[in-house]
Amino acid sequence: MNQKNAVITGASSGIGAETIRALVEAGFRVFIGARHMDCLDCQTVKRCGWNGRVNPFV
């Protein structure tokens, strides 16, 4: 059980979104947060096809 996890806040754009991309590519399971769930769904998870590797929360 060596799953690496990361938590990113402000994840819907900019540096947060790029950090998510880098962590997912490195094998992390990423938990992302932002003020509005619709921003997370559209801007990061669905756009990049990371369902299952990226878990949004508000």
More confident position, 5 or 14: 5
Model pTM? 0.71
Structure confidence at residue 52 (pLDDT): 65
Give ∠ CA 29-56-20 in degrees, rounded to 5. 50
6-48 pLDDT, tens digit each:
998 877 777 887 888 888 888 898 888 877 777 666 555 655 6
51 pLDDT more than 70? no
Q: Give the pLDDT of residue 4.
A: 92
- The confidence band for 49, taking pLDDT boundaries of 50, 70 and 90, is low
Residue ranges of domains in the chain: 5-57
